[in-house]
A and B are shown apart, each in its own frame.
Chain A
Amino acid sequence: MVVAVIFMLFTTLLFLHFNSFLKIPDISVILELQYIPSLLKFLQGVTWIAFGFVVFTLLALLFGRIYCSFICPLGILQDFFIRVNRLLSKRNKNRYSYHQSLKWLRHLITGIALVSLILGSTSLLIWLDPYSHFGRMATHLLQPIYYFGNNGLALIVNHLGYYGIYRIEVHTFHWATFLFASFILVLLLALTRIKGRFFCNSLCPVGGFLSWISKVSIFRLAFEPSKCISCSRCEKACKAESIDYKNMKIDFDRCVACYNCVDTCNVNAITYQVRFHKKAASNSKNETIDSGKRQTLKSILFAGTALSGLSFTIDKESFSSFVSKNPAKSKLPVLPPGAISITHFKGTCTACHLCISACPSNVLQSTFIEFGIDGMFIPKMNFDVNYCQYECNLCGDICPTGAIKPLKLEDKKITQLGKVQFIKDNCVVSQLEKDCGACAEHCPTKAVKMVPYPNKSGKNLFIPEVNTDLCIGCGACEHPCPVRPHKAIYVESNPHHLLAQKPVIKKIETPKSEQEEFPF
């Protein structure tokens, strides 16, 4: 259906970092419709815009699990797999049959997710939320493929003298996340082949919760016994395996509202009916599925998933002519600006990795267990890869769950993610008695500045001096420091973000007048 395709397309584009013709913050509005993210936003009190879960809960109460087939990117992805599967299979037909899904598992997972939400933790949602699963697949499997294709194209057009398309290096690779996303992908491929939308009715907490609600939906799909000719087409077409054609029964709580049954029925025997009056039929939802378009589009987007085993490593080679001795690493992971505190971040981030895929400098990277076992895959600032751009506040603008709050640029510029620490005994200037200054050069606030350094050889040298009051913890000093294995300067994370002082702006002593004469 067109709606599903549009949502899928834009959600995918968001993750592909297609900023060239669409502004990311503008299209990220569609993520307000995502169930879990909008729910998390709602729970934080950012209510006016977080309407996705309200809308789809109400819709479920009316028509069933619309979210599952129209908005949920993981659901649409599974539908895509199902279609490809059908295309590839010899008989080219659906062959599902009525099965009870693992009811106890669905209720258990939904129950656990609800309890953990109430307790203010997203540690389980990271493993369960379908949107976040999709996000990680898009970031860690699809984006590299897209970049790979882009770079191939760039290679060709650059050769021809056109530079509108340029290479984009993949800096987001993270082995644990890659494996996890791949595992879920393979799991879905297998499940969709055998049991259709099994995932949605057994392992997904959104599916589970909406199934509770759609048990009491006002309008529901049901048989019209007088019309049914017992041909079994509907049962075979039902991805959710919720139709029992012999008994003319539909388990509407498990129905994912894909309307394949309606579509496939030649005699219009399945229609929306009001729950309490079996006779009153409504044909309003008899829409046909525009499978062709969805098909083509998504086959393009997902072609070549197998190619994704590329390896991307961070440069660890030694840049300095001596080996540093003193460890220089933040005890806690550094959070992105707007993430407030580790407690807040862990309580609201579902690790969908939209920020990771969108971060222009790729300083935002996935983690494994640095946030603890209850916060796996949550993003952190990784200054080995890059530093946070002073003029950028994109991550807060696009975060769908409110884990990274949007900050005005001027506020972001004084949000202190951590404090700079200088280890003199690791520094090029003290060890080699040579100039360097890479850290101070990059510092946007001059929390790191170079001061005269008296030395044995009597050379005119400058060494870094830090002022933590001015530091915003952006990592612009840590990233370029050439010393290995331990840098001479690093950012020690603030577990709770603080406010930094504004940079000192002072006029130059000499008057801004034009010089009269050449100084030589």
Chain B
Amino acid sequence: MERRDFFKKAIGTGLIAGAALKLTGYNALFAAENTTSTAAPGDKIDLVAVMGGEPDVMFDKGIAELGGMQAFVKPGQTVVVKPNIGWDQPVEVGANTNPVLVKRIIQHCFNAGAKEVYVFDNTCDKWMNCYKNSGIEQAVKDAGGKLVPADSKNYYREVSIPNGVNLKKAEVHEKILDCDVFINVPILKDHKGGRISVCMKNLMGIIENRYWWHGHNLHQCIADFATYSKPALNVVDAYRVMLKNGPRGISSEDCVIKKSLLISTDMVAADAAAAKIYGIEPDEVEYIKLAHAMKVGNKNLTELNIKRIKV
């Protein structure tokens, strides 16, 4: 045990050191011209937007702006990383969160001292196939996290949603209820029912009966649930963005490579920014408007302190 822990730590430290070195070197050279912010330096950053790199590199840079993962994960804590693994589709179709990003986030969690990192999704297609063919199973294994199932009612416990308008209660996965830190890692994609699928829509994968939401005003249910579950951190994968045939997609031709990443503690802000990347106004997405009105977060990007980074 001890030896394994030692290696884990040693490798982890090495990684962070390497990343930091690379990061500082890079930033020192280009920081002045590539990083822009709408507010004065020193203010609390509401949203970090990164563009132009690979998912893992963009995350390294983005999370550093928020004080690193240690600002969110304390040593000994249990973390849940919840990507979108809804479909039995390969990476290039853009239906599931990029495994490279998932892997890097888990590594950051362990580097910050996380005791355990769990990953799951209540998938649409058969869960084993989704986990495997999305590439996320391997990514989680490589990073040392634990992929847990979510396909049985037994994994869920009922919670009440006091501020919900339509949705008064929901069955939530036990790992979410029992963890210390919940990191939401959606992929931005087309979704005709919800218009786009990002942070708040991704939470449909931590509850048991999402079809009930479809039959009871989907947008209101999404916003209702967002009043209850606020992830500590939201990381939006907008590297490969599915613009049509969503959310399952037919082929890689449904996607456009946007090489973007959003990090925020505010789901509404992240969803609003994601809407712009997708190519629509945040107000075209009803659940963003509803969640904003219910004070889940702020959809008005002009009012936010956005850190923009180009890699």
Contacts and interface: CB of A to CB of B under 8 A. Distances in A.
Same complex for A and B? Answer yes
Interface of A: 158, 161, 163, 166-167, 169, 318-321, 360-361, 389-392, 428, 432, 434-438, 440-446, 449-450, 460, 462, 480-483, 503-508, 510, 512, 514-515, 518-520
Contact of A434 (B191, B192, B218, B260): B218
B192 A515 contact: no
B248 A518 contact: no
Interface string B243-284: 111111011011111111000000000000100110100001
A450 B193 contact: yes
Contact of A503 (B124, B250, B273, B277): B250
A320 B192 contact: no
25 contacts: A158-B148, A163-B147, A167-B151, A167-B155, A169-B152, A321-B216, A360-B128, A389-B88, A391-B125, A391-B133, A392-B129, A434-B219, A436-B193, A438-B211, A441-B247, A482-B215, A483-B215, A505-B253, A507-B253, A508-B253, A508-B256, A514-B257, A518-B49, A518-B51, A518-B308
Contacts of B250: 444-446, 503-505
Among A445, A460, A515, A520, the most chain B Cβ lie within 10 Å of the Cβ of A520
Given A360-B126, A507-B253, A428 B214 contact: yes
Among B147, B193, B279, the most chain A Cβ lie within 10 Å of the Cβ of B193
Contact of B214 (A361, A436, A514, A515): A436
Contacts of A443: 248
A167 B244 CA distance: 35
B286 interface: yes
B218 A320 contact: no
Contacts of A390: 88, 125
A163 B146 contact: yes
B192 A161 contact: no
Contacts of B258: 514-515
B10 to A, nearest CB: 23
B187 interface: no
B146 A389 contact: no
Contacts of B195: 435
Contacts of B92: none
A438 B193 CA distance: 7
B174 to A, nearest CB: 10
Given A435-B286, A450-B193, A319 B253 contact: no
A321 B215 contact: yes
Among B88, B256, B277, the most chain A Cβ lie within 10 Å of the Cβ of B256
Contact of A391 (B129, B243, B284, B301): B129
B192 A441 contact: yes
B52 interface: yes
Nearest to B279: A519
Given A446-B250, A510-B256, A514-B257, A438 B284 contact: no
A38 to B, nearest CB: 30
Among B88, B255, B279, B284, the most chain A Cβ lie within 10 Å of the Cβ of B88
A435 B286 CA distance: 10
A432 B212 CA distance: 14
B236 to A, nearest CB: 13
B257 to A, nearest CB: 6
A482 B217 CA distance: 11
Q: Taking chain A's interface residues, is the majority helix, strand, or loop, or is none over half, making it mixed?
A: loop
Among B215, B217, B219, B256, the most chain A Cβ lie within 10 Å of the Cβ of B215
Contact of A435 (B52, B193, B257): B193
Contact of A163 (B148, B217, B255): B148
Given A321-B216, A360-B128, A163 B149 contact: yes
Nearest to B52: A514
Contact of A512 (B146, B216, B256): B256
Contacts of A519: 276-277, 279
B88 A482 contact: no
Contacts of A483: 215
Given A167-B149, A441-B191, A519-B276, A320 B244 contact: no
B306 interface: yes
B124 A442 contact: yes
A321 B167 CA distance: 12
A510 B253 CA distance: 11
B207 to A, nearest CB: 13
Contacts of A446: 245, 250
Contact of A515 (B248, B260, B301): B260
Contacts of B273: 520
A389 B51 contact: no
B116 interface: yes
B198 to A, nearest CB: 14
A510 B241 CA distance: 12
Contacts of B277: 519
A504 B254 CA distance: 11
A428 B215 contact: yes
Interface in B159-202: 191-195
B215 A320 contact: yes
B209 interface: yes
Contacts of A167: 149, 151-152, 154-155
B129 A360 contact: yes
Among A161, A446, A508, the most chain B Cβ lie within 10 Å of the Cβ of A508
Given A434-B219, A435-B219, A440 B211 contact: no
Contacts of A510: 243, 256
A512 B243 CA distance: 11
A505 B251 contact: yes
Nearest to B124: A442
A512 to B, nearest CB: 6
B248 A442 contact: yes
A462 B190 CA distance: 13
